[in-house]
């Protein structure tokens, strides 16, 4: 593994909000082509880490490297242009815009041509499996799973090298989670994109990732293959609040 240069390196990143230490000296290294899980109880700092990587927040300490380039504190659109895309934990409903237009806004990162953006958007919608009859619908007319797929298509339309998924399966039925899971596998296989999955739904993240990081109260407490992490006493304690004897 160490022979390949990482696509992403988070080095000793800390971030606080007032008295809350959201991230405390977090270091993460991701190899090109990996699907990596990032789990942890509510409030453990998962979204904050994504926000630091994508330039929404600037870390108080530490550096973030994308293909060895220091991207710490760059503006979100600059980081997006370099090739990092993310989906949002909270669905951000788009109004007065069709599904196709919403996805095309992602493609406009790469082209000034509306027609080209539409073509890229169509390919992205086909890839994530949003049926054609949905493309003309407004944000108010689609379901939660459709919102998640459209947000995913918008992220794909920016042609990312690294894709960050923030609780994309949360709130969905098991059958819908299955559907998303195969869509993610397909995107990974067809686009060769590196993916970090933040997820609360354990089964979902465990089945997709070969390697998992665990955050607890802003600190990394474990890293390794899913089976190993799931049986780690510190992880069990963090999730269940039970101290191992
Ligand atoms: P997770 O995504 O793991 O549930 P978050 O990264 O959203 O956790 O939050 C980590 C901690 O940082 C929480 O205590 C949360 O309340 C706090 N936090 C996150 N964003 C902000 C913010 N913009 N302002 C104040 N506190 C924040
Ligand atoms: Mg979160």
> Domain extents for the chain?
1-83+160-245, 90-159
pLDDT band at 245 (very low <50, low <70, confident <90, very high): low
pLDDT band at 242 (very low <50, low <70, confident <90, very high): low
pLDDT band at 38 (very low <50, low <70, confident <90, very high): very high
The pLDDT, as a whole number, for residue 203 is: 83
The residue count of the chain comes to 245
Query: Phi/psi at 87 (nearest 5 deg)?
Result: -105, 165
Residue 34, CB half-sphere, CA atoms under 13 Å: how many? Answer: 24
Torsion over CA: 34, 51, 238, 206 (sign):
negative
The percent helix, strand, coil of the chain (3-state, each to 5) is: 40, 25, 35
The pLDDT, as a whole number, for residue 91 is: 83
Q: How many CB atoms lie within 10 A of CB 225?
A: 12
The stretch 44-69 carries a mean pLDDT of 98
CA of 46 to the centre of ligand 1 (A): 8
pLDDT in tens, 97-116: 999 999 999 999 999 999 99
DSSP string, 189-221: HHH--EEEEE-S-HHHHHHH-SEEEEEETTEEE
Report the atom number in ligand 1 closest to the C-alpha of 48: 6
Residue 46 to residue 73: CA distance in whole angstroms: 18
Q: Counting Cβ atoms within 10 Å, is residue 19 exposed (0-12), middle (13-18) or buried (19+)? A: exposed
Best mutation site among 48, 170, 198, 200 for ligand 1 pocket (most ligand atoms within 8 Å of CB): 48
Give the tokens for residue 68: 């060895």
Best mutation site among 43, 52, 200 for ligand 1 pocket (most ligand atoms within 8 Å of CB): 43
Residues near ligand 1 (Cβ within 6 A): 17, 20, 22, 40, 42-48
pLDDT in tens, 168-191: 999 999 999 999 999 999 999 999
Give the tokens for residue 187: 């995107």
Contact 95, 138 (CB under 8 A): yes
Domain 1-83+160-245, what fold? Rossmann fold (3.40.50)
CA of 51 to the centre of ligand 2 (A): 10
Q: How many CB atoms lie within 10 A of CB 1?
A: 8
The stretch 9-34 carries a mean pLDDT of 97
Give the tokens for residue 45: 């700092």
Three-state SS at 45: coil
Report the atom number in ligand 1 closest to the C-alpha of 41: 3
């Amino acid at each position: 593994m160490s022979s390949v240069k990482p696509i992403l390196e988070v080095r000793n990143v800390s971030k606080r909000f007032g008295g809350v230490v959201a991230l405390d000296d977090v270091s993460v290294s991701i190899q090109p082509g990996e699907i990596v899980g990032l789990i942890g109880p509510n409030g453990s700092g998962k979204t904050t880490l994504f926000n630091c990587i994508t330039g929404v927040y600037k870390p108080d300490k530490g550096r973030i490297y994308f293909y060895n380039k220091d991207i710490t504190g760059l503006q979100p659109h600059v980081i997006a242009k370099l090739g990092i895309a993310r989906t949002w934990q909270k669905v951000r409903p788009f109004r007065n815009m069709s599904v196709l237009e919403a996805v095309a806004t992602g493609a406009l990162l790469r082209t000034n041509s509306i027609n080209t953006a539409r073509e890229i958007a169509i390919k992205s919608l086909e890839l994530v499996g949003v049926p054609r009859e949905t493309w003309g619908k407004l944000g108010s007319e689609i379901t939660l799973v459709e919102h998640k797929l459209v947000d995913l298509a918008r992220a794909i339309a920016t042609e990312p090298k690294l894709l960050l998924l923030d609780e994309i399966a949360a709130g969905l039925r098991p059958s819908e989670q299955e559907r998303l899971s195969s869509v993610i596998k397909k995107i990974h296989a067809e686009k060769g994109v590196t993916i970090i999955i933040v997820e609360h739904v354990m089964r979902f993240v465990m089945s997709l990732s070969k390697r998992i990081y665990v955050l607890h109260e802003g600190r990394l407490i474990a890293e390794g293959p899913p089976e190993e992490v799931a049986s780690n006493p510190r992880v069990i304690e963090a999730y269940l609040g039970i101290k191992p004897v």
